[in-house]
Every structure is written in structure tokens, then in C-alpha cells.
């Protein structure tokens, strides 16, 4: 079979192609030449709408740009309608793009679910952490991939280089600051050591002085009483 024949066969077996063509029953809430919106028969909440393309596209990357833009416009309008008509407090809008992502039907569809507080609809997205190096790698690869998709590779490479330089400069500043702090710490330790040595020297000097103090006292001349008497006699001779 050729790719065209395979696509036609898939279309013939697709229930959403039959719905969009009017060959299968469904509660339509909106329809135009590109899309059709129907109520989900197994809704997450009452008013759960499925927006599908009339052409058979399996996943989003296959859809032409003009149809994607149209889908966005219609989705916005239906979301507002759910908020007003059903007095919903919010809407959850998502696409299960591929089997691994939870896509069940082999036809692109967008879910618009009206939400109310504590409605029990569980669409929980887990939160994990990754290392800085992995974060950097993912950012680099993904940014280049997205830029390529938008035809802006050159501009992105330039931006990426600037960002890398900024990161390098930031890392250099951190390293420099760490080195300065290390030097300051070393200098403080050195100064403290000198102060301790100075104090130790002063203590030793005081000890030595105390040892010598009695000897110094012994060397001082003792004034005798008879010295005073001799001076008095000499004074009488000259009077």
C-alpha cells in the first residue's frame, strides 16, 4: 500500500472522521469547515468538549499552520463559552500528542474541560529536580531545536554564545570571591598566630623580670645611720 492508501484506510476506520463527516452520531456544539467540537461521551466533567480536525491528522506536527491557528481561536471561544454557560471556575485544556502521552484515538483532538473547585479531576504533573549540568544540556539542545523549527538558528547560536560567556563570567566571579575569602581567612589566622606569639613573648619577659627583681633589690645601697652622723659633724666644723 502507498502512504496515500494507508492514510485513506485509517480515515475509513477512524470514528472521529465519521463524526466530522456526519456519518456517526455525536452531540456537536460547534462546527466549521476545518474543525468540529463534540461533547465527550465519557467526560471528565459535565461539558467536557473534544475539538477535532475534519481532515484526518494523527498528531499535531502533521497539521498545517493555518489549521493550528484556527484551532487556537476556536479553543479560546469554547473555553469562554464554558465559563459563562456552565458557570465554570476554570478550564483545563490539553492535547495527548502520541500514544506515550496518553493518546487513545488515532486522530488529533484537543480536550477542553470545565473545572470547578474540588471537582476531583486529577491531572497532576509531578515535579522533579535535575542537576545544573543536565539543565544546561537540555536548555542548549532544546533552544537549538526550537530555533531551527522557527528558522532562527544563527540568531540563537549568537544568543547561546552570549549566555555561555555570561555563565563563565559568573563562575569566574564566584571562584575569585572564594579565593579572596580563603586569602582573608589565611591572613586572619596568620595575624592571630602573631598575636599569640607576642603574648607568649610578653609572658616570658614578665617571668624573667620577676626572677631578676629580688636580685636588683639586693644590689641597691642600704643607707646607714652613722653616715648621717658623720655629715652632721662636718657641718659643725664649717659653721
7 and 87 share one domain: yes
- Number of domains, the chain: 2
Instruction: Give residues with Cβ within 8 angstroms of 59, minimum separation 6.
Output: 97, 98, 103, 108
90, 152: one domain: no
- Alpha-helical segments (H) within the chain: 3-13, 15-20, 65-85, 132-149, 153-219, 225-237
On whether both 32 and 105 belong to a single domain, the answer is yes
Q: Are residues 19 and 102 in the same domain?
A: yes
Helix (H, G, I), strand (E, B) or coil at 53: strand
Cα separation, 234 vs 224, in Å, equals 17
Same structural domain, 69 and 167? no
17 assigned to some structural domain = yes
- Are residues 95 and 179 both part of a single domain? no
For residue 22, tell me if it sits in a domain.
yes
Tens of pLDDT, residue by residue over 76-131, are 999 999 999 999 999 999 999 999 999 999 999 999 999 999 999 987 888 889 89
Residue 125 in any domain: the answer is no
pLDDT tens column, 142-165: 988 888 888 876 655 666 667 777
| Residues 154, 111 share a domain | no
What confidence score (pLDDT) does residue 74 get?
97
- Residue 150 is part of which domain span? 139-216
CB-based burial label for 120 (10 Å; 0-12, 13-18, 19+): exposed
- Whether residue 111 is found in the same domain as residue 146: no
Q: Are residues 106 and 7 in the same domain?
A: yes
Same domain, 78 and 153: no
Question: Residue 227 pLDDT > 70, yes or no?
Answer: no
Q: Are residues 40 and 88 in the same domain?
A: yes
Residue 165 lies in a domain: yes
Amino acid at each position: 500500500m502507498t502512504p496515500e492508501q494507508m492514510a485513506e484506510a485509517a480515515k475509513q476506520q477512524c470514528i472521529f472522521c465519521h463524526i466530522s463527516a456526519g456519518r456517526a452520531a455525536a452531540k456537536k456544539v460547534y462546527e466549521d469547515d476545518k474543525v468540529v467540537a463534540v461533547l465527550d461521551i465519557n467526560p471528565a466533567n459535565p461539558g467536557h468538549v473534544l475539538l477535532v480536525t475534519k481532515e484526518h491528522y494523527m498528531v499535531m506536527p502533521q497539521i498545517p499552520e493555518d489549521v493550528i491557528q484556527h484551532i487556537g481561536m476556536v479553543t479560546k471561544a469554547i473555553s469562554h463559552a464554558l465559563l459563562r454557560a456552565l458557570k465554570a471556575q476554570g478550564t483545563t485544556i490539553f492535547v495527548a500528542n502520541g500514544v506515550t502521552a496518553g493518546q487513545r484515538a488515532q486522530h488529533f483532538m484537543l480536550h477542553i474541560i470545565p473545572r470547578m473547585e474540588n471537582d476531583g479531576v486529577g491531572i497532576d504533573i509531578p515535579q522533579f529536580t535535575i542537576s545544573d549540568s543536565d539543565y544546561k544540556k537540555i536548555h542548549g539542545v532544546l533552544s537549538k531545536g526550537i530555533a531551527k523549527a522557527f528558522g532562527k538558528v544563527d540568531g540563537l547560536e549568537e544568543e547561546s554564545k552570549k549566555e555561555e560567556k555570561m555563565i563563565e563570567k559568573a563562575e569566574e566571579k564566584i571562584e575569585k570571591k572564594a579565593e579572596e575569602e580563603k586569602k582573608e581567612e589565611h591572613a586572619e589566622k596568620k595575624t592571630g598566630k602573631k598575636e599569640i606569639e607576642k603574648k607568649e613573648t610578653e609572658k616570658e619577659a614578665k617571668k624573667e623580670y620577676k626572677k631578676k627583681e629580688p636580685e636588683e633589690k639586693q644590689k641597691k645601697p642600704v643607707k646607714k645611720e652613722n653616715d648621717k652622723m658623720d655629715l652632721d659633724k662636718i657641718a659643725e666644723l664649717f659653721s
